[in-house]
Amino acid sequence: MANEKILVIEDNPMNMLLVRDLLQFDGYTVLEATDAEKGVQMARESLPDLILMDIQLPGMDGLEATRIICQDPALNTVPVVALTSYAMKGDEEMAREAGCAGYIAKPLDTRSFNDTVSGFLKSARPK
């Protein structure tokens, strides 16, 4: 479980704090970006094992960032999971069409969040 590197791209400081604390509790290394452009750059530099991507971000949104990541040969095996409170009908389908491996709605269920993340890591395609 531990030793995996997870990039969290989230612009809300309280959400970032919660996600960081939950992930670090299970021993994950957490990398943080507050916008999509920085997130894509960090992904290219650090090659994380998983990316948790907020959809509503300042500037480029999370879906566009996901498309860029999925088209990058160095990153296209890294699963991107949409992490968003913008949970309207059709959003999960839009996230999957953009290339997201899954979708986690906010507010987070803190009791099952790390199990869900672990599941995405286990099902990740080999690098």
Return the CATH number at 33: 3.40.50.2300
| DSSP reduced 3-state for 32 | strand
Is residue 111 in some structural domain?
yes
Q: Which domain holds residue 31?
A: 5-122
Q: What pLDDT is attached to residue 125?
A: 47
- What angle (nearest 5°) sits at the alpha carbon of residue 50, between those of residues 124 and 119? 50
Q: What pLDDT is attached to residue 1?
A: 47
How many domains does the structure of the chain reveal?
A: 1
Is residue 28 in some structural domain?
yes
Q: Which residues contact 81 (CB under 8 A, 6 or more apart)?
A: 50, 51, 52, 53, 100, 101, 102, 103, 104, 117, 120
Is residue 32 in some structural domain?
yes
Q: What are residue 105's phi and psi, to 5 degrees?
A: -85, 145
Per-residue pLDDT of the chain (127 residues; tens, 9 = 90+): 458 999 999 999 999 999 999 999 999 999 999 999 999 999 999 999 999 999 989 999 999 999 999 999 999 999 999 987 765 667 788 898 999 999 998 889 999 999 999 999 988 745 4
Name the token pair of 81.
């999971």
Q: What pLDDT is attached to residue 123?
A: 81
Is residue 30 in some structural domain?
yes
Q: What pLDDT is attached to residue 126?
A: 55
CA 99 to CA 24: how far, in whole Å? 26
Is residue 127 in some structural domain?
no
Is residue 62 in some structural domain?
yes
Alpha carbon of residue 50 to chain centroid: 6
Q: What pLDDT is attached to residue 94?
A: 87
Name the token pair of 45.
């530099």
Is residue 41 in some structural domain?
yes
Is residue 65 in some structural domain?
yes
